[in-house]
Amino acid sequence: MVIGYTTGVYDLFHIGHLNLLRNAKSMCDKLIVGVTTDELVSYKNKRSVIPFEERLEIVRSNRYVDAVIPQESMNKFEAWEKIKFDVMFVGDDWYSSDKWQQLEQQFNEVGVRIVYFPYTKGTSSTLINSVLLSIRNDALPNL
């Protein structure tokens, strides 16, 4: 049995999230998804729109997902030590970054393969938030 693992905030669930989960599930028997906690999101001085418990339930209800766990740390190797997944799925926007080159080397030593999926350009929760903010600001009367 091949166990796959991926993580994300999954705020304002969109087609990029769906593509990642669908593609990941097609390459493993069991897909485990780490959903980033609100506390961990705040490390980037950001805040999710959808609360953690709701994001967890949204991802859990996706037919491509077999199990959902809280992602409480950015340390992917710590997650592997707990779950022992065989393959990790990540967006290709991280490909060749110093962090992921180091992780690839670390995971290679324990036989974990990292698969990079194409990042869905033009769609992101950050972009959606920006558009919504712009729409809200345009709708407000000038005071």
Q: What are phi and psi of 142, to 5 degrees?
A: -70, 130
Catalytic residue among 44, 82, 84, 121: 44
> CA quadruple 67, 72, 75, 79: dihedral positive or negative?
negative
Whether 46 is catalytic: yes
Which whole-number Å values give the CA distances from 129 to 46, 79, 89, 134, in the listed order? 11, 29, 25, 9
Catalytic residue among 25, 30, 46, 82: 46
Whether 76 is catalytic: no
- Please state, in angstroms and rounded to a whole number, the distance separating the CA atoms of residues 8 and 101: 19
End-to-end CA distance of the chain: 61
**Residues acting as catalytic residues:** 44, 46
